[in-house]
Amino acid sequence: MERMKQVQVLSLFVCALIGNVLSGSSHDFQDLKDREGVLSFLEYSEAVSSSSSVTDEPLMVGLTLIQGADSKGAVCLDGTLPGYHLDRGSGTGKDSWLIQLEGGGWCNTIRNCVYRKTTRRGSSKLFEKQLPFTGILSNKVEENPDFFNWNRVKVRYCDGASFSGDSQIEASQLYFRGQRIWSAAMEYLMAEGMQNATQALLSGCSAGGLASIIHCDEFRELFPQSTKVKCLSDAGMFLNAKDISGGRTLQNFYSGVVSLQDVQKSLPSTCIDHLDPTSCFFPQNLVAAVRTPLFLLNSAYDVWQLQSSLAPSSADPRGTWKECKQNYAQCNSSQIQFLQDFRNQMLDAIKVFSASNQNGLFINSCFAHCQSERQDTWFADDSPRMGNRRIAQSVGDWYFDRENVKAVDCPYPCDNTCHNLVFNDVVSNITFSQSTSHMKPLAQGTIFNGHCISYAHSAGPEFLIAFQAEDSQELNISSRGCQF
């Protein structure tokens, strides 16, 4: 049985390429390397999840480039056309539309953005030609009970500012056109039939989850009042929190994103009128003012924030947080208390938002990031639960007004349904943990020579994932093994 998905892979630690592109402080270099490593790990743990579809081979959906978008200035960082993947709805879902905005971090300096445009996060020349549709994008009722037969779209992310901003730097041939990409994609999809939608849901993961908050009310305005429109942000609650050194790593990073890409013009006036633009890029200052019904799906111990903004290498020069960042089970009591304080900040940030009956919440106490596109966390037999409801059921109950959903988990370590992510030394091996039980890789491989790395579940199947260096041949990913 063939279960193969082609995966384009840059090495998890893209040191060689970054080193060729960037110059600057060692802290900037290390933080960029860390962010890219975390993003790569999260992407490939999702790939492993998609290779273990609950039923058969996940649906592979082809790429469509938005022809003519360049005439409106709607282009990726390198000037190439933006794109999306669309699987048409059927039956009762033929007039319902789900738009998923892809995530993938941001770039905050010219150097970082020059590097980014050499990756699929900045150039459609490097987009995968097909993507697996799993989780909230699945076309199988047993994997996605409420949205399986909708028109399901994944809009690719290649601007570096959460589909916002509008500027360019001629000397570096950088085009910051996130807002224009958003507008062009929506215009194109409306012409493809979305204008006739009776139901619509705008969703997004990570940087796409932030984008779904920023653009939620704009999305609502595309449709007549008779259309049911709501928004979902998955792992989009990035907090303006102090890092372990007392600094504001993410605030400083966002300040660069906002100023470089001229994001201010994309941000809601309800925020800009009384706060500075950088503050208005933080969702904690946006969500309470969103008029359209919005659902926040987030881990209280978001691993991207732990790795990249709470305990980045620049804030931890002695590496005292290294083991804790890689494996939550290795955190000492003071580190756990720091993470509990972060959880409390998140809950405080959404108090006003959660008071509205139209809004929904699923804040679980897992070490995770992006749970709606992964089949194992969205809807599977052992998916994370609160109140005996899986994430897919909670989102569906909220969207279709079957129940009010305001699910907030008890603090770690009370939830034994989590699919926690464990980062080992990613230069040599990675462990993808599908449960809270401690995991060990079955084997190790060298990333840079195309060898396979194995992932094991102590109570389930073995997964193998293939990595390729830039100069090696294409590899395939499979739940049965690696093939060259």
Tokens for 120?
A: 């699929």
Residues in the chain: 484
Single-letter amino acid, residue 122: G
Q: In this predicted structure, what is the pLDDT of residue 403?
A: 97
The DSSP string of 398-437 is: HHTTSS--EEEPPSTTS-TT----B---TTT--B--SSSS
Asked if pLDDT for residue 122 goes beyond 60, the answer is yes
Residue 224 CB-density burial (10 A; 0-12 exposed, 13-18 middle, 19+ buried): exposed
Tokens for 399?
A: 């969207």
Paired residues of 464 in beta bridges: 454, 478
- Residues 2-11 have pLDDT tens digits of 332 222 323 3
The least confident of 18-32, 40-54, 238-252, 431-445 is 431-445
Find where tokens 């319902």 sit.
96
- DSSP conformation class of 308: I
pLDDT > 90 in the chain, percent: 75
- Residues 305-355 have pLDDT tens digits of 999 999 999 999 999 999 999 999 999 999 999 999 999 999 999 999 999
Tokens for 358?
A: 């139209």
Do residues 377 and 392 lie in contact, with contact meaning Cβ atoms separated by under 8 Å?
A: no
φ, ψ (nearest 5 deg) of residue 404: -75, 135
Residue 484 lies in a domain: no
Q: How many CB atoms neighbour CB 348 within 10 A?
A: 11
Which domain range does residue 16 map to?
5-477
- Residues 162-179 have pLDDT tens digits of 999 999 999 999 999 999
Residue 482 lies in a domain: no
Q: In this predicted structure, what is the pLDDT of residue 27?
A: 63
Residue 37 lies in a domain: yes
- Residues 272-316 have pLDDT tens digits of 999 999 999 999 999 999 999 999 999 999 999 999 999 999 999
Residue 213 lies in a domain: yes
Residue 483 lies in a domain: no
Q: In this predicted structure, what is the pLDDT of residue 287?
A: 98
Tokens for 264?
A: 């201010």
Q: How many domains does the chain have?
A: 1
- Residues 438-462 have pLDDT tens digits of 333 333 332 322 322 322 222 222 2
Specify the pTM.
Answer: 0.84
User: Cβ contacts of residue 307 below 8 Å, gap of 6+?
Assistant: 34, 35, 38, 325, 423
Do residues 261 and 165 lie in contact, with contact meaning Cβ atoms separated by under 8 Å?
A: yes
Q: Which residue has the higher pLDDT, 274 or 19?
A: 274
How distant, in Å, are the alpha carbons of 269, 272, 294, 357, 449 from that of 289? 10, 12, 11, 14, 50
Q: How many CB atoms neighbour CB 270 within 10 A?
A: 16
Residue 40 lies in a domain: yes
- Residues 175-209 have pLDDT tens digits of 999 999 999 999 999 999 999 999 999 999 999 99
- DSSP conformation class of 32: H
> For residue 51, what pLDDT band results from cuts at 50, 70 and 90?
low
Helix H segments across 293-399?
303-305, 322-326, 333-349, 351-354, 375-378, 391-399
Q: In this predicted structure, what is the pLDDT of residue 21?
A: 47
Residue 373 lies in a domain: yes
Average pLDDT of span 77-103: 99
- Residues catalogued as catalytic: 206, 302, 369
Asked if pLDDT for residue 470 goes beyond 60, the answer is no
Asked if pLDDT for residue 437 goes beyond 60, the answer is no
Residue 463 lies in a domain: yes
Asked if pLDDT for residue 38 goes beyond 50, the answer is yes
Does the bond joining 268 to the residue before it have cis omega, within 30 degrees of 0?
no
Do residues 153 and 98 lie in contact, with contact meaning Cβ atoms separated by under 8 Å?
A: yes
Q: In this predicted structure, what is the pLDDT of residue 426?
A: 44
Q: In this predicted structure, what is the pLDDT of residue 44?
A: 56
Among 220, 107, 124, smallest CA distance to 165 is for 107
The pLDDT mean for the chain works out to: 84
Q: In this predicted structure, what is the pLDDT of residue 41?
A: 61
